[in-house]
Amino acid sequence: MDVVFLAPAYPAEMPEFVRGLAEVGARVHGVGDSPETSLPDKTRRHLTSYLRVPRILDEEDVLRRVAAWTRGRSIDRIETLWEPLVLLAARLRDALGVPGMSHDAVLGFRDKQLMKERVAAAGLRVPHARRCTSVAAVRAAAEEVGYPLIIKPIAGAGSADTYRVDGPADLDDVLNRTRHVPEVSVEEFVEGEEFTYDTICVDGRPVYENVAQYLPRPLVARTEQWISPVICTVRDLDRVADGVRFGRRVLGALGMGTGFTHMEWYRKANGEVVFGEIGCRVGGARLIDQMNFTSDHDLYREWARAVCWKAWEGRDERRFNTAIVFKRAEGSGRIVKIDGVDGVLREFGPAVVVEDLLPVGAPRRDWKQTLVSDGYMMVRHPDWDEALAIAGAVATRVRMYARP
């Protein structure tokens, strides 16, 4: 089994996927724009070969170079789990005749307007939305969709360049903030709770499913620096059975093949489930580690087993609700002090499974550019309310301080 893996060192989780591929018996051929000597040891150790390209985001150049590099070889799979490269991987599969999801299928997971149209065509509720490429089009769409609304990139990932607009007075500011985005979606703002629906699929059939709740919703978390955002996986999927059923129908509507998916959906106060968006890749911000701690299995390896052998050997039992709490330092400059960690560890002990905060002396990160912010702690508990209570203690009692 020979697998070409695009971007084997970035984002930070990718070396684990390379490791997973090697552990299920694949020969992994990496393609990236970093020097091979600078790759993380875990990546380099598990690669069979590596092609360095000048720019991994230059699709035409990468297509030519990979086609020449693989000429005469038997390539069984072409994979990536980084959102900006999913269409490139599909183009390579189409060009080289490698099995897997086609460019047209993957486009439905990348183009936010197209995905809504395909999901809506299956009779599922989606936010009312319009595709816009000009200021005039945005203004017209805003009047048609109505306020409040969301403006976000057609080909974005996560909540980057995504803004809530409550009325005409806000629109000019958001248009100025998104002027660098060539194509945006202007869509209805759906009031309600926000969740994920995550899967590993084999030929469109979920062999693994996960749901996590955002507390608060990402758009709210991005507005105030003092918030410590929490994402918590749901141990008992019966609590969110409506979202699971909905997610399965979305996968069918979009023609999912084999691999990871990460979807976001809303539950309104009246119980209505509304589609958000979906990608054919793993969720970011350490969500896969939360899912691993939820069931005590290795989804890096199980994803690899699915794409290589169309098999699943992971646990089916969900043992814990697992919450990640992202921390943001007070002040600017470098981290000078961290309070509260020892007390949390003393009180909650084994429930705290990860502590990965920036150390004293490190420069703090731009919280608007990365959800991980200045680090995180991860906690778990079999009881939902207890898990959220422990996460709340981390959010309120652990404090980080920065100074110039």
Q: What are the sequence ranges of the domains in the chain?
A: 2-100, 128-188, 192-319, 320-404
CATH number for the 128-188 domain, one of 3.90.100.10, 3.40.50.300, 3.30.1360.120, 3.30.1490.20?
A: 3.30.1490.20
Written as tens digits, the pLDDT of the chain (404 aa) is 999 999 999 999 999 999 999 999 999 999 999 999 999 999 999 999 999 999 999 999 999 999 999 999 999 999 999 999 999 999 999 999 999 999 999 999 999 999 999 999 999 999 988 899 998 888 888 888 899 998 988 877 666 788 889 888 888 888 888 889 989 989 999 999 999 999 999 999 999 999 999 999 988 888 889 999 999 999 999 999 999 999 999 999 999 999 999 999 999 999 999 999 999 999 999 999 999 999 999 999 999 999 999 999 998 899 999 999 999 999 999 999 999 999 999 999 999 999 999 999 999 999 988 889 999 999 999 999 999 999 999 999 999 999 99
Q: Is the distance from CB of 181 to CB of 153 less than 8 angstroms?
A: yes
Distance of alpha carbon 358 from alpha carbon 335, whole angstroms:
7
Kindly tell me the sign of the dihedral angle through the C-alpha atoms of 285, 105, 275, 244. Answer: negative
Torsion angles phi and psi, residue 153, rounded to 5: -65, 145
β-pairing, 2-6 with 27-32? parallel
CA atoms within 13 A on the CB side of 209: 17
Phi, psi values for residue 236, rounded to 5°:
-95, 100
**CATH tag, 320-404:** 3.90.1170
SS3 230: strand
Full-model pTM: 0.92
Domain 2-100 has CATH 3.40.50.720: no
Task: Return the CATH number of 192-319, one of 3.30.300.30, 1.20.210.10, 3.90.1150.10, 3.30.470.20.
Answer: 3.30.470.20
